[in-house]
Structure 1
Amino acid sequence: MRTRKPRNILAAATVTAVTALLVPACSLNDTSDDGKVTLQYWAWAPGSAKEVAEFNRTHPNIKVVHTDAGGGDTSSAKLLAAVRAGNAPDLALVENTSLPRMIVSGATKDITKYVSDAKKKYAPGSWAQTTFSGKTYALPQDVGPMALLYRRDVFDKYGIAAPRTWADFREAAARIKAQNPKLTMASLAPDGWGYYASVAAQAGDDWWSIDGDESNVDIDGENSRKVMGFFQGMYEDGLIAADPQLTPAYNQKLNDGTMLSWPSAVWAPGVVYGVAPKTAGKWALAPLPRWNADDPTVSFQGGSSVVVTAHSEHPKEAAEFAKWLNASDAGAQMVLNVQNAYPAALSGQKAATAQKPPGAHAAADRLLQGHRRNRPAHPPGDLGPEHECRGGRIHGCDELRRSARHFMGARPDRHAESRRGRPEETGIRREERLRPESREPRAASRDRASKASGRLSA
């Protein structure tokens, strides 16, 4: 299916009708008599107020005022409504899935000339998530390279190693099921299209692409059919469930030890720790299984960025704050240690590989103790400045596993709030172009996919 798109902008997402209530209006774009610029910043991430306070302490000519406008599905709708009403903040934290439609709607400002010097602070794939047709509209704050969270204690009990390939994943599920029918390898809901787009991209199929001034949607490619057929087959054979994730019933299975893995991303340990804290010490994080044993590529799933809104009267100062928060060593450290997020900036990723988990959550570090004795033989990934990220996909996961130690002690905080109950909302990155998941056309896409590949049935 081919559709026209506005020049230079990927219009794969439809602007959502705005019905959400606005947060109370603030005095925006203010400059005091002493020349100090005041900026308004909307962000839901935990610790944002502390980050703002530190910036204000070290930047006497700029004052940033933080407002928690809420995260989740309504955050982008609130921001769009505020932009249209003329009372938007200067900056806002936006989930990467929402960024394309924010750009299409004209809610964000082209900040290329203010932030181009920060490009070197990121891997190419991370930077590409906020850049369209050579123009940069946001600074990446956190990313979510995909990984497999699994119950190491159960796998060890049945003599099974972490699966290297998806074929290994299926074999492990069958072996465990044969010995204990009460155990379930994973639950993958049939409407989790963000997840399926991610693993299809891992297999080589992009669901969204650009050809000149047109965007192309193709969800029934050869590799996508194989991917959907694989998981359909696992469901039909009783090896996985198809129930929604992070519901009370699902969480109970995490707590009682009958749900054994979650193919997700590096943020998943913090979420599981939040809903099943007594299982700390029983989990491990492994590279996402591969479709091809020789190709360690994975996609991003999740992430957010900071935009400067279209009507900000102080874009230079706003961009200065965004660069400090997301691209500087000090800011990236706060994203890592205050937000408990996985930083998009390379310096934050390097710091994650070097430091121990937060002391307050040190007990949860046991979730990853096993991997130190069983590191994979493949090369390290691109989660440090010495590695190359090709189009936003992660090549190799040893660095991911080491850096993820930090997050095994993380509270659910931001990711539990922004993804709990809707794990299908993801960011997909592959080959230098963003493939945003549009919420509006999802039903139509679901119909086409079910005809092409067969739907997982609960």
Structure 2
Amino acid sequence: MRRTTSRLMRGLAVLSVLALGTTACGGSDDDSSGSKPVSAGDIQAALKKGGSIKVWAWEPTLKTVAADFQKKYPKVKINLVGERSGDKHYTALSNAISAEKGVPDIAQVEYFAMSQYSLTKGLSDLAPFGADKLKAKYTPGPWNAVSEGDKVYGLPMDSGPMALYYNKKIFDKYKVAVPTTWDEYVDAARKLHKADPKVFIAADAGDAGLTTSLLWQAGSRPYKVDGTKVKIDFNDAGAKKYTATWQKLIDEKLVAPINGWTDDWYKGLGDGTLATLPSGAWMPANFETGVKNASGDWRAAPMPAWTKGDKASTENGGSALTVPALGKNKELAYAFVEYANSGAGVQSRIKEGAFPATTAELKDDAFLNKEFAYFGGQKANEIFAESAANVASDWSYLPFQQYANSIFNDTVGKAYVGNTKLSDGLKSWQDASVKYGEEQGFTVE
């Protein structure tokens, strides 16, 4: 999980206050806000004239896309600033917007952070450029994350439909069936741990991203956002499904208290002590580079269902390319965003390991039939594509989700290290998030 610094919190506070004021940047109805229609001719004229655009993005495949774009449009220069990621990226973006200085022409923004910047009018509405006509190109989850009503604040770059990665070698060794429901998942955890006390069904020391993804799949909708009116409620039926199941795993010590992306985590995935990993479709490349010694041992399966037969899936991760309202050269910026995320750049990025958010690629035979040597020749994209098609599109994040995620370990995380129940931890998370939202001027219930 990315951790949020106090500096980022200050930037977030500034943005939240701006959301409620009358001087929010990019809020006018002139061309800088992207509110007037921009024709294809306008964009082509800008490409012909040329110019320079600055892109703040950490996604490595954009290097190839930028190079290809510049070959096609030699008068355009792409300045790709890729050294920032996570908290540093958002801190820099928030500071630039609040100072109205040094704002990039294009910024990569993860889906969970989109509403923070769109609500504060820090992003251009791309519908006047024609982005609203592209809806059918994308899967529902990512499109929902970048759009609000008839406004479009970015084009989806990738997606993270979830799958259950499992160590086939371990499941075969102990003759345990791969779970198809979360109840079966708990049973499998018990059987594996009984057969070998060193084996845990998964690692989980408290992860905000995993928790919200599982709530999403379970049908919980804890966040409802209408402008500056926010409702937070972790007590619906879906949340109760999640807490009832996951509490068993915690109480019976069936999940290893290991944080993701640590040396211990990689070691556990490699030596068989971690038997499964619920994660996004972008994970295979991380297996190949970080868990090389377990090549051939792992496979992908659909996410276990909360109710037998239910195919509902969920997203974990993913981001969009956006055009900040204070950026310059908006026609050139939009042209690059569309090229990268809807045009020829999509195939370039897929070849380098990105998982697409575009439906055409997810239905392409070559994509679906790709055999993953790491997964024993399995056509894992078939699993991921089906997952993407079964993601409910009505999930919302908070306009201050970055802050909420930063306090997860101080609230829900206590359920993993003490006697706090998971349901009580969620209530504490809810209360703390409500308090923060009210302090920032949101109307929260």
**What's the TM-score, normalizing by structure 2?**
0.76
Correspondence for 2:177 among 161, 173, 177: 161
Deviations 1:250-295 (A, max 9, x none): 2222222211111112122222332221111100011111101121
Distance (whole Å) between structure 1 residues aligned to residue 395 and residue 222 of structure 2: 14
1:369 lines up with 2:377 in the alignment: yes
Q: 1:446 to 1:58 in 2, by over 3 A?
A: same
Distance (whole Å) between structure 1 residues aligned to residue 399 and residue 308 of structure 2: 27
Task: Kindly tell me the number of residue pairs found equivalent between the two proteins.
Answer: 378
Partner of 1:453: 423
SS in 1 for 2:403: coil
1:175 lines up with 2:191 in the alignment: yes
SS in 2 for 1:210: strand
Correspondence for 2:203 among 187, 192, 198: 187
Q: 1:436 to 1:248 in 2, by over 3 A?
A: farther
Alignment of 1:144-159 (within 5 A): 144-159=160-175
TM-superposed CA distance for 1:301, in Å, is 0.6
Partner of 2:84: 70
Deviations 1:325-350 (A, max 9, x none): 1011x211122112x12111223323
Partner of 2:10: 17
Deviations 1:373-430 (A, max 9, x none): xx99xxx8375xxxxx46x43xxxxxxxxxxxxxxxxxxxxxxxxxxxxxxxxxxxx4
SS in 1 for 2:90: helix
Contact 2:132 2:151 (C-alpha < 8 Å) held by counterparts: no
Correspondence for 1:56 among 70, 89, 97: 70
SS in 1 for 2:58: coil
Contact 2:297 2:375 (C-alpha < 8 Å) held by counterparts: yes
TM-superposed CA distance for 1:161, in Å, is 2.7
Q: Which amino acid aligns with 1:169?
A: Y
Contact 1:146 1:266 (C-alpha < 8 Å) held by counterparts: yes
Q: Which amino acid aligns with 1:174?
A: R
Correspondence for 1:79 among 93, 96, 102: 93
Partner of 1:257: 272
Distance (whole Å) between structure 2 residues aligned to residue 222 and residue 53 of structure 1: 49
Distance (whole Å) between structure 1 residues aligned to residue 111 and residue 397 of structure 2: 9
Partner of 2:4: none
Distance (whole Å) between structure 2 residues aligned to residue 156 and residue 436 of structure 1: 45
Q: Which amino acid aligns with 1:324?
A: Y
TM-superposed CA distance for 1:322, in Å, is 0.5
Tell me which moved more, 98-107 or 207-216: 207-216
TM-superposed CA distance for 1:15, in Å, is 7.5
Q: Which amino acid aligns with 2:394?
A: E
Tell me which moved more, 259-268 or 343-352: 343-352
Partner of 1:344: 357
1:41 lines up with 2:41 in the alignment: no
Q: Which amino acid aligns with 1:438?
A: Q
Q: 1:308 to 1:98 in 2, by over 3 A?
A: same
Tell me which moved more, 266-275 or 171-180: 266-275
Correspondence for 1:381 among 376, 386, 398: 386
Distance (whole Å) between structure 1 residues aligned to residue 369 and residue 51 of structure 2: 36
Q: Which amino acid aligns with 2:386?
A: G
TM-superposed CA distance for 1:106, in Å, is 3.0
Distance (whole Å) between structure 2 residues aligned to residue 274 and residue 436 of structure 1: 34
TM-superposed CA distance for 1:308, in Å, is 0.5
Identity of aligned residues (%): 26
Partner of 2:232: 217
Distance (whole Å) between structure 2 residues aligned to residue 280 and residue 289 of structure 1: 23
1:440 lines up with 2:445 in the alignment: no
Q: Compare the two structures and name the one with the higher helix fraction.
A: 2
Q: Which amino acid aligns with 1:286?
A: A
Q: Which amino acid aligns with 1:48?
A: L
Distance (whole Å) between structure 2 residues aligned to residue 437 and residue 265 of structure 1: 23
Distance (whole Å) between structure 2 residues aligned to residue 239 and residue 125 of structure 1: 31
Correspondence for 1:299 among 314, 323, 329: 314
Deviations 1:220-257 (A, max 9, x none): 32331331231121222232223312222222222222
TM-superposed CA distance for 1:454, in Å, is 4.5
Distance (whole Å) between structure 2 residues aligned to residue 85 and residue 437 of structure 1: 21
Where structure 2 has 5 or more consecutive residues not aligned to the other structure, the ranges are 1-6, 13-31, 33-44, 427-445
Distance (whole Å) between structure 2 residues aligned to residue 182 and residue 124 of structure 1: 40
Alignment of 1:118-129 (within 5 A): 118-129=134-145
Partner of 2:429: none
SS in 2 for 1:288: coil
Q: 1:347 to 1:223 in 2, by over 3 A?
A: closer
SS in 2 for 1:263: strand
SS in 1 for 2:255: coil
SS in 1 for 2:66: helix
Instruction: Tell me which stretches of 4 or more aligned residues in structure 1 moved more than 4 Å.
Output: 432-437, 448-452
TM-superposed CA distance for 1:314, in Å, is 2.1
